[in-house]
A and B are shown apart, each in its own frame.
Chain A
Amino acid sequence: MTPKIPHESARKHVTGEAVYVDDMLVNNQLLIGKVVYSPHAHAKIKSFHLDVARNLPGVYAVIRYQDIPGENQMGPVVHDELCLAKDEVNCIGQAVFLIAAESEEICREAEKLIKIEYKPSEAILSIEQAIAKNNLMGPERKIETGDVDKALKKCKHKISGSLTTGAQEHWYLETQAAVCIPGEDNEMKVYSSTQHPSETQAIVAGVLGINRNDVVVEMRRMGGAFGGKETQANHVAAWSALLAKATGQPVKIRLFRDDDQIMTGKRHPYLINYKAGFDNKGKLIAVEFELNANGGMATDLSFAILERAMFHVDNAYYIPNLRVIGRVWKTNQPSNTAFRGFGGPQGMAAIETIVDRIARQLKMDAAEIRRRNFYGINDRNLTHYDQKVENNHLKMMFDRILHSSEYLKRRQDINEFNSKNEFKKKGMSLTPVKFGISFTTSFLNQAGALVNIYQDGTVLVNHGGTEMGQGLHTKIQQIAAAELGISFEKIKLTATDTSKVPNTSATAASSGTDLNGMAVKNAIDKLKSRMIPFIVDHFNEKGEIIKSQIRAIHFINDCIIDSENPARKIDFAKAVNMCYIKQVPLSATGFYRTPDIYFNREKGKGKPFHYYVFGMAVSEVLLDTLTGYHKILRTDILHDVGDSLNPAIDMGQVQGGYIQGVGWCTTEECKWDEKGNLLNHSPDTYKIPSIQDIPEDFRCSLLEDVPNPSTIRKSKAVGEPPFMLAFSAWLAVKDAISAVADHQIEPEFSIPATNEVILLSLEKLRSIKKQ
């Protein structure tokens, strides 16, 4: 394989030639769609008048829920999310009416002409309020192992507390967008910036009241997604489809940044209560977690996310007695949704907080406490849901990174620095990641592909995965090239298309390459096994004494060869042409399902994951204790991707994921006013990391020589796990705060640790210290 090849679209990215949904040249009949949304968190719609807006020149349609020909529904799993509000609105940003007009300007004028009268009622705007009102989204979940209550009672050391983690806005650079073009009869062609074309197809068919075979969804590339376009891209597609249907013309909706931030869901805020018991050596004996998620106004993926959070409250640690209870609370906010890590970060933040506290309490180094609690290789290797942690690299990685980061020496330097500086403190933390790979809803672990070989020896590959920047298409192209033994340039991938590969799962759960790569391989295997007998015949045509055998045929270097008689070879393109003449079908579909995974929700036991990914990071920060500013001085990362399919792309995921995690942990803050208005609805006040926020010294490496047994070319998924390496930076900040009170007092801390959170925590420590 040619490993470090650039992203398949890199050249188009740098020249501006890459086409995104909003860049498409449609015809001059294209109309612009706009969503009129609720300004109230909870209200009854008393009356409205649409006629004036409808009569504005340039306006082609103004529609409301009665105008929906199909089902007024766009909930992906549970059907509890209306496409357009009926007589009540349940969050600010909920779609009420849709406008199609010649231009954005006319849309805005028309919006001003719509008079709606609302009667606001009481709204639930936080987890705490939802708990007080007992407003559950659904039944609580539980996973338990051992006897937590008994074990806790016996523990010598105990801690308890709570942790809040904040909402995170996806802030994909490309906001949600879709273009719908009506066709013959009922047909609708949808160009959507979606991670899940099959679901977009289903929802569009649903709202239009037509069959799925009438809808084709095409997706070439997204300008970032991160989970934000897994379910919520469906909304924009459904709305533009409704307008396209109503007007009979192509319609484009692209959300303005502020509208996107106001209307779409975020990473779920969590409120986590915990109790933990441990021994003198800092070993965890029993832990109880209560996870409370803010689900927003509808279910969306909240329960799957909660489930993953519950699976990851152990992170890398063996906890013999563990109980985790999970609840999703319904609030009057836009439905929260998937975001890289999918609950994993929230669950892991809780256990990392506990381990960090244990170290402070026992006055031991936190890295050492972590090491002591790692899952074992031969024993102490069963998770709370009974899956065995196999191919565990934790200890090996710990030893390596401890050494390569010079952790112990730097720890001394830091202590020395801190003793000499009153207002500048340094902090450092080492944190591990163990992350389970697979959709935890087991049946979703399936993928399809379509591979066509053309007579000139070039190959067209389609699969169900979508390209959002993660390099999926590049990896698939590499996989196809390697499996067919032909050069990379001979392979082309085109837009993901529901009419080519049907019934696909979302490109999510880091599984894009694992699933689709295997499906593509499956298709290629079929094609090869169809071609090989004809190649053997061809080699044996000349009547050689030693016959070529099927088992010896290999596809390599743009040729097909008999490895036992290497002189016998044929150019791939020639072989293809020959097969065509012999009437061999040169197009095949491929399919893959992940074997042997299952999970019993009632019992809370099973093997939900195909395998685990491991990672480890050490971050060091410098904190100005008067302003709360910190700078990441150095970060060392060692990350496991199995046999890397493309180290450059994998490294990109590791670095990018880490920085996105740093954003969630530090500067990215969502606040709402008492009416439920999001205060940080634009990049003016919502702050993702800038180029100056990355570590001054950033050292990342991929763990080598650790092939993953049963995946495509022995690789591992990479999308989500690195996100959680950011806890090293988060806890390094806490370590620096803690230094102000000589690590004697437990600082208050939460996610995000904005400079405000940091400074107020410092103030508190200082005042306790004074007393």
Chain B
Amino acid sequence: MNSCIGFILDEKLIEIDFSKERKFTPTTTVLNYLRDLPNHKGVKEGCAEGDCGACTIVIAELDGRNGLQYRAVNSCLIFLPKLHGKWLITVENIKNPDGSLHPVQQAMVDYHGSQCGFCTPGFIMSMFALYKSNLPNTRAVIEDALTGNLCRCTGYQPIIEAAEFALQDRKPDHFSKIEKEIIAILKKIVLKSMQMATDRQKYFMPVSVTELLYIKNQNPDAIIINGASDIALRVTKKYELIPSIIDTMQIEELHVIRKSIDHLYCGSAITLNQLMEVSREWYPAIYEACSVFGSKQIREMATIGGNLGTASPIGDLPPVLAAYKTDVVVVSEKGARIIPVDEFICGYRKTSLKKGEIIKGIKIPKPMDGTIIKFYKVSKRKDLDISTVSAAFRLTPDKEKKINEIKIIFGGMAEMTKHAVKTEKFLKGKSRTRETIEQAMPILEEEFTPISDARSSAQFRSVIAKNLLLRFFDDLADT
């Protein structure tokens, strides 16, 4: 078994062998690792929970087409083994070798994008990742890329202007010049099955599902992580020591996307950003859900399997996937099973996974023409916030515009994602009039007894739920 990871930092190959390492463990975060080095203190901790972006770094990795893909991520939520085979880029690396500033840095200086400067390294990294992408420099793209970076000083306006300017004309930078060398080094780092053990902890990185299932069987208490954007919080916020972890990062089968004529299949480890990209055409409501999911940095890490795996009552994917009648493919050493999303989540943070089973992927049928599916999320702040209430609607009208089929699924209204069964029943077969909807609203209000918490009161949740029904039908009026 191999316990040594390899990655590039400062253009050099760094190896950490956890069987010998004293200072760092497999669940040391990249943020803490970097801040422990004398020359990488540019990366900042603002929250240690993925919400501020001060810790943003860029990870570049082979894109499978002989190039590199650069992704900005929150280093506070990344465990060291996830760097294996990758190029870790920090704010110290961005300026040009001759000491002059990179275009994104120069623009931030010229447009007065920094005041106290504490958020700035994070912004630079998000902007740098955008610089290396082929996305246009529209305001929408910039806002999306920078939503995960909070700034308390500037009011963001100068930062937007700096980004617009820096991204106008993206010339090759010094990273482009060394890409070939980097790719050569990265290719030499073998992706292999690994087991990193310290005296208190085991961290597995298998390379196949078969191997994963075997390890899981041997270590029934091991926690499976995909992106770890949820699990990492147990380490960074609750300071838990997780004794046994199985990381799916290296398992190619879990990273596949297959589109066929009537459905889309996504592996469990497909990230929210990847899902967003593939859903644009056939699944606009999924696209919508992704676009208000966390921040771009979070979406680079968060995965489909992880979102279903948490079975959180305020997870954003379960309602919208249910509206698309998605099936979850689970697998164990005994074989595979297919479970509709609705049944997959069966209680407060409870899935119907049996012992030894893992989430392999999801199958989303392409809806029939005429079916309308929409997703709504209400949170205190519109972006980078967890749902107070979310709702997905599926409507198939018949020829007379009557409600032939209706599915209404709520998040945040109960201990788990739940259908508004009574309302669905009431509406089925009725005509789509304002009167019908208004009759349905009190029924909807009655069928849930939401809770009050840090995000909102129960009363607000009840009002929102019935209003979203009206919002859905009001939005339909335009179509």
- Say whether B115 contacts A469, CB under 8 Å: yes
Q: Which of A7, A19, A659, A660 contacts B114 (CB 8 A)?
A: A7
Residues of A within 8 A of B468 (CB): 626-627
A10 with B453: in contact, given A23-B41, A691-B160, A755-B380 (CB under 8 Å)?
A: no
Distance, CA A164 to CA B148, complexed state (A):
31
21-73 of chain B: CB within 8 A of chain A: 38, 41-49, 51-52, 54
Residue of B nearest to A630 (CB): B382
| Interfacial chain A residues near B253, Cβ < 8 Å | none
Is B101 in contact with A652, judged by CB distance below 8 angstroms? no
B152:A688 contact, CB within 8 angstroms = yes
A222 contacts B by Cβ under 8 Å = yes
Stretch at the interface among B266-274, B315-323, B459-467: B459-467
With A173-B52, A652-B112, A690-B147 as contacts: A629 and B47 at CB distance below 8 Å: no
Flag if B143 contacts A691 (CB, 8 Å): yes
* Given A14-B124, A15-B92, A683 contacting B49 (CB threshold 8 A): yes
A693 within 8 Å of B (CB atoms): yes
Which A-chain residue is minimally distant from B40 (CB atoms)?
Answer: A16
Determine whether the beta carbon of A684 is less than 8 Å from that of B51. Answer: yes
Q: Which of A550-607 contact B (CB under 8 A)?
A: none
The distance from the CB of A181 to the nearest CB of chain B, in whole angstroms, is 18
Contact A6 B109 (CB under 8 A): yes
B94 in the interface, Cβ–Cβ < 8 Å?
yes
Chain B contacts for A14, CB-based, 8 A? 91, 94, 101, 105, 108-109, 114, 120-121, 124
Cβ–Cβ < 8 Å partners of A701 in chain B: none
Give Cα A6 to B101, complex, Å: 14
Known: A224-B152, A691-B147. A174 touches B44 (CB 8 A): yes
A6 touches B112 (CB 8 A): yes
Task: Check: B358 CB closer than 8 A to any chain A CB.
Answer: no
A4 to chain B minimum Cβ distance, whole angstroms, is 8
A691 partner residues in chain B, CB cutoff 8 A: 143, 146-147, 149, 151, 156, 159-160
- State which of B188-196, B347-355, B383-391, B422-430 sits at the interface with chain A: B383-391
Complex contact B471–A627 (CB within 8 A): yes
Query: Is the pair B108, A10 in contact by a Cβ cutoff of 8 Å?
Result: yes
Assembly CA distance A688 to B115 (angstroms): 17
Q: In the complex, which residue of chain A has the Cβ closest to the Cβ of B386?
A: A684
- If A667-B381, A760-B459 touch, does A226 touch B109 (CB 8 Å cutoff)? no
Does A76 count as interface, using CB distance less than 8 angstroms? no
Contact mask for chain A residues 614-628; partner B; CB cutoff 8 A; 1 contact, 0 none: 000000000010111
**B110 on interface, CB distance cutoff 8 Å:** yes
Docked Cα-Cα span, A222 to B44, in Å, equals: 13
| A258 CB-CB contact with B under 8 Å | yes
Q: Is the CB of A256 within 8 A of B119?
A: no
Query: What are the residues of chain A within 8 A of B48 when measuring CB–CB?
Result: 256-257
Is there an interface contact between B470 and A16, defined as CB atoms closer than 8 Å?
no
Query: Which one of B95, B376, B381, B464 has the greatest number of beta carbons of chain A within 10 Å?
Result: B381
How long is the Cα–Cα vector from A494 to B173 in the complex, in angstroms?
34
Which residue from chain B places its CB closest to the CB of A679 in the assembled complex? Answer: B454
**CB of A694 within 8 A of chain B?**
yes
Structural contact, B114 and A10, CB atoms closer than 8 A: yes
Q: Name which residue of chain B comes closest to A109, CB basis.
A: B239
**Which residue of A11, A422, A694, A754 contacts B380 across the interface (Cβ within 8 Å)?**
A754
A656 touches B470 (CB 8 A): no
- Chain B nearest CB from A764 CB (Å) reads 11
Question: Is A153 among interface residues, defined by CB-CB distance under 8 A?
Answer: no
- Given contacts A172-B116, A683-B47, A690-B147, whether A16 and B381 have CB atoms under 8 Å apart is no
Cross-chain contact A626 with B118 (CB below 8 angstroms): no
Report the separation of the CA atoms of residues A691 and B149 in the bound assembly, to the nearest whole angstrom.
Answer: 8
State the Cβ distance, B231 to closest chain A Cβ, in Å.
15
Contact A258 B237 (CB under 8 A): yes
Contacts of A700 in B (CB 8 A): 157
User: Distance in Å from the Cβ of A580 to the closest Cβ of chain B?
Assistant: 34
Contact of B118 with A627 in the complex, beta carbons under 8 Å: no
B124–A257 touching, CB < 8 Å: no
CB distance from B319 to the nearest CB of A (A): 16
Q: Are A690 and B384 in contact (CB under 8 A)?
A: yes
Let me know if B280 is at the binding interface, CB within 8 A: no
| Min distance, Cβ A17 to any Cβ of chain B, angstroms | 7
A679 to B457, CA, bound (A): 13
Residues of A within 8 A of B119 (CB): 173
Chain A residue with Cβ nearest B109: A10
Interface of A is mostly: loop
Which of A257, A258, A660 has most B Cβ within 10 Å?
Answer: A257
Interface residue? B455 (CB, 8 A): yes
Known A173-B54, A174-B116, A682-B51; judge A763-B381 contact (CB<8 A): no
The answer, yes or no, to whether B90 is at the interface (CB within 8 Å) is: yes
Chain B residues near A468 (CB-CB < 8 A): 116
Whether A223 and B154, one on each chain, are in contact in the complex, defined by CB atoms closer than 8 angstroms, is no
A679 is contacted by which of B41, B54, B384, B453 (Cβ under 8 Å)? Answer: B453
A11 touches B101 (CB 8 A): yes
Q: Is A648 an interface residue (CB 8 A)?
A: yes
CA–CA, A673 and B95, complex, Å: 48
Task: Check A423–B94 contact: CB distance below 8 A.
Answer: no
In chain A between 709 and 726, which residues have their CB closer than 8 angstroms to a CB of chain B? none
Contacts of A226 in B (CB 8 A): 152
- Cα A22 to Cα B31 in complex, Å, equals 14
Q: Which of B454, B456, B467 has the most CB of A within 10 A?
A: B454
Taking the nearest CB of chain A, how far is it from the CB of B389, in angstroms? 9
| Cα separation A12 to B118 with both chains bound (whole Å) | 11
Closest-CB distance, A85 to chain B (whole angstroms): 24
Tell me the complex Cα distance, A728–B105, Å: 34
B52 touches A25 (CB 8 A): no
- Give chain B residues whose Cβ lies under 8 Å from the Cβ of A655: 154-155, 157-158
Instruction: With both chains docked as a complex, state the minimum distance between the C-beta of A325 and any C-beta of chain B, in angstroms.
Output: 32
Residues of chain A in range 170-194 having any CB-CB distance to chain B below 8 Å: 170-175
Contacts A14-B109, A173-B54, A682-B47 given: A693-B116 contact, CB under 8 Å? no
Is the Cβ of A9 less than 8 Å from the Cβ of B117?
yes
Q: Cβ of B474 < 8 Å from any Cβ of A?
A: yes
Q: Does A680 contact B (CB under 8 A)?
A: yes
Residue of B nearest to A172 (CB): B152
Query: Given A648-B112, A759-B460, A16 and B154 touching (CB < 8 A)?
Result: no
What is the bound-complex CA distance between A486 and B46, given in angstroms?
Answer: 39
Residue A743 lies at the interface, judged by CB distance under 8 Å to chain B: no
Interface flag for A13 (CB, 8 Å): yes
A residues near B453, Cβ cutoff 8 Å: 679
* Residue pair B380, A656 in contact (C-beta under 8 Å): no
B46 partner, pick from A257, A687, A756, beta carbons under 8 A: A257
- Chain A residues whose C-beta falls within 8 Å of the C-beta of B237 in the assembled complex: 258, 682
A235 to nearest B CB, angstroms? 20
Provide the residues of chain B in CB contact with A693, threshold 8 Å: 381-383
Instruction: Give chain B interface residues in 85-112, CB to chain A under 8 Å.
Output: 90-92, 94-95, 101, 105, 108-110, 112
Interface presence of A669 (CB below 8 A): yes
Q: Indicate whether B153 reaches chain A with its CB closer than 8 angstroms.
A: yes
Inter-chain CA distance A19–B40, complex, in Å, is: 11
Contact surface of A with B, Cβ cutoff 8 Å: 4, 6-7, 9-20, 22-23, 25, 105, 108, 170-175, 221-226, 256-258, 422-423, 468-471, 624, 626-629, 648-649, 651-652, 655-660, 667, 669, 671, 679-680, 682-685, 687-694, 698, 700, 754-756, 759-760, 763
- Give me 24 A-to-B residue pairs in the complex whose CB atoms sit less than 8 angstroms apart, sorted by A's number: A6-B112, A7-B117, A10-B117, A14-B101, A14-B105, A14-B108, A14-B120, A14-B124, A15-B105, A16-B43, A16-B121, A18-B117, A20-B118, A224-B153, A468-B116, A470-B115, A626-B474, A652-B115, A655-B158, A660-B152, A660-B155, A680-B454, A689-B381, A694-B155
Known: A257-B49, A626-B474, A693-B382. 8 other contacts (CB 8 A): A7-B115, A14-B109, A173-B54, A468-B116, A657-B155, A684-B51, A684-B386, A691-B159
B residues apposed to A, CB below 8 Å: 38, 41-49, 51-52, 54, 90-92, 94-95, 101, 105, 108-110, 112, 114-121, 124, 143, 146-147, 149-160, 237, 239, 376, 378, 380-386, 453-457, 459-460, 463-464, 467-468, 470-471, 474
